[in-house]
Structure 1
Amino acid sequence: MRVPFIAAGLACLVVLAAFAGCTSSTATPSYSVDNNGVLSVTCAPVTTNETVLFSNQTYTESKIILHTQTGDVVTYLSTPAHPKAVMLYLPGAGEKISGHAERMVTYAEAGYAFMFLDYRGRGGETTGYPLNPQTDYTLFENKEWPEYYLTICDISSAQAMLTARFGVPIYAVGGSNGGRYAAVAAGVDKNFAGYVGISTSDWGIRDSVAEQGGTGDILRFATSLEPSTYLPTISPRPVWMFHNATDPIIPFAQGKSLFATANEPKTFTEFNGDHGINPDVDARLIALWAQIYGTQT
């Protein structure tokens, strides 16, 4: 799937922006994009509010709201008492938390926590606008925060919260569009233990800009959005990607192209299904992690 992007004008070579009304912290919230299109962020502090929704001997499910300085971000966490690792999951378009009820139990029984992060603009409980490179580029030109970059901060903030809470490896995982955000987050935030991409690929924004003759800052900005900009930097942390050969939404070849940009260690697996995370992916991932953490249902 390609995202068309037509824009004109240039921004500064290095962009720094801060949230208005920022509370005291050790560093001013800011972002920068280098000449290779690689994003770096210093995120604003967040607070959280947690409501327990369900608990039994297997797992506890709770709703956790990340209160950021630019709006609330909704997450759902399912965890056994002592998880071996955490899957921080970025869903694809249209995915609802209700569709992951069985998955939450499956991972908890295997010894892993699962967080569903409803990122900005997805059309769920978290507000925001759907991915709009033109709108975000205008913000970039004006040295304001593009929503895309705010989303990367949200993912990084969730990682920091989970790390502080559990002290175990946190993996950036995503399906379809969510896999794109997860790849960028894993590259930007070196505290992620690794990356899992399911039925995902580049956006195609950079190629679209280049085909239209875009150069300079517009191309640099477009490059900053692409998962392939960050996949090589995840190494030596692992990259695991899953794709179905007959995927009806994101072609198999596009998934393979993204995977090719990653450095070792990496694994590409063809799974049974059509598009997005499913029980076959769950079983394969749990079996893979069992080799690392010694847990298996």
Structure 2
Amino acid sequence: MNGQVADPTRADVKELLNDRNGELSRLAQGLLGTGNTNRFFYFPTHDEPTTPANWGFRYDDVTFPSSDGTKLHGWFMPAKGRQAKGTVVFSHGNAGSLSHHLGFVMWMVEAGYQVFMYDYRGFGRSKGELDRKGMVEDVKGAFDYVLSRKDVNPKKLVSYGHSLGGAKSVTALAEKNPSGLRAIVIDGTFASYQAMARIVGGQFGADLITDEFSPKDFIGKISKTPLLVVHGDQDEVVPLSQGKELFTLASGPKTMFEVKGGHHGDSLARNDGAYRKRMLEWLDGVM
């Protein structure tokens, strides 16, 4: 390895998050083949092909409790070479383990943020069974853990969620919003579980699952924290319309980056990182 962090490229997205012919076809198979609706959207792995140390970054390997006591695993990375601008809690998408999602956050460590990323229950080294409600509790537990650290400024917190992670974060933060939360970023996030099921299974698919804990029902409750919605206009997994719906429903201060040519997972990395720069500038304005 050359010491530089790989971006989540198009190939990575296909492998880890899967494109419409992968992720959503497996969702369709789940809709048709099982009655366990908690598992329709989740494709965890338990491997760990790389760690921050492989890229020259320091990190703490930690275990911490979800808000319901389930034992979870995460990595805490201090800002590289400077005093931290703030602390980012990153909630990843519905496939792989935290190891597969390093490319989403390492650039933020280099930009001066310390980052805590973690695996939900049933993913990676975290314990417990896959469960829609339980994963919302995992987001709350991640914030509780970060706030327990002495090296974290409790008044400068950022929530960053990709895809499913954005959905879980919105729901969790509507129920329990830390007083020091300065910003919420959701990237490629859907508004409704049933809407996603309908894309591949029609009304039959949508009827098989509930819309419980869908972010569309919670995002309007977050009225004070600035929100950034990032969505690619070529997202094959979560249509742009889903991101636009969340943006419309948001009741607080809000901004949207509609990324031309952006796919599911590569929007912020496109145009040589131009949208990363815009996101950092946006964060500077709200921190």
The answer to whether TM tops 0.5 is: yes
Q: Which residue is equivalent to 1:77?
A: 76
Question: What is the CA–CA distance in structure 2 between the aligned matches of 1:164 and 1:55, rounded to whole Å?
Answer: 27
The 8 Å contact of residues 186 and 195 in structure 1, kept in 2 or not, is answered as: no
Q: Evaluate the alpha carbon distance shift between residue 173 and residue 262 of structure 1 in structure 2; reply closer, same or farther with a 3 A threshold.
A: same
Does the 8 Å contact 2:171/2:215 carry over to 1?
yes
Aligned-residue CA RMSD (Å): 3.7
Decide whether aligned partners of structure 1 residues 288 and 194 sit closer, same or farther in structure 2, where only a CA change above 3 A counts: closer
> 1:88-167 counterparts in 2 under 5 A?
88-101=89-102, 104-121=105-122, 123-130=123-130, 147-165=131-149, 166=152, 167=154
Give the Cα–Cα distance (whole angstroms) in 2 for the partners of residues 60 and 208 of structure 1.
Answer: 40
SS in 1 for 2:280: helix
Q: 5+ residue gaps in structure 1?
A: 8-51, 131-146
Structure 2: tracts of 5 or more residues without a match = 1-23, 36-50
CA distance in 1, matches of 2:90, 2:214: 18
Aligned partners of 2:279 and 2:74: how far apart in 1?
22
1:60 and 2:58 equivalent?
yes
Q: Find the aligned partners of 1:283 and 1:251 in 2 and give their Cα distance.
A: 24
Match of 2:171 among 184, 201, 206: 184
Alpha-carbon deviations, 1:144-167, whole Å to 9, x = none?
Answer: xxx333322221122122123212
Go from structure 1 to structure 2 and tell me whether the alpha carbon gap of 1:202 and 1:129 turns closer, same or farther (over 3 Å shift): farther
Per-residue displacement from partner, 1:70-118 (whole Å, max 9, x unpaired)? 5321111111263222221111123444445465542223221112121
1:260 maps onto 2:230 in alignment: no
Give % identity. Answer: 20
* Correspondence 1:194 to 2:162: no
8 Å Cα contact 2:86-2:156 kept in structure 1: yes
In the superposition, relative to structure 1, how do residues 207 and 286 fare at CA in structure 2: closer, same or farther (>3 Å)? closer
Post-superposition CA distance 1:161-191 (Å, at most 9, x none)? 2123212322222111111111111211121
2:91–2:166 contact (8 Å) kept in structure 1: yes
Q: Would you say 1:205 and 2:194 are equivalent positions?
A: yes
- Equivalent pairs, count: 225
Using the alignment, how far apart are the partners of 1:106 and 1:204 within structure 2?
A: 30
AA aligned opposite 1:273: G
Is the partner of 1:246 in helix, strand or coil? coil
Query: Quick check: which one's helix share is greater?
Result: 2
- Answer whether contact 2:52 2:102 (CA < 8 A) is retained: no
Instruction: Report the AA paired with residue 285 of structure 1.
Output: M
- Of 235, 238, 241, the match for 1:250: 238
Higher strand residue share:
1
Letter in 2 for 1:66: F
Letter of the 2:283 partner, please give it. W
User: 2:103 and 2:187 mapped to 1: Cα distance?
Assistant: 18
Give SS of 1:114's match. strand
TM-score normalised by length of structure 1: 0.63
- The whole-number CA distance in structure 1 between the counterparts of 2:283 and 2:241 is 26
TM-score (structure 2 length as normaliser): 0.65
In structure 2, the partner of 1:47 is none
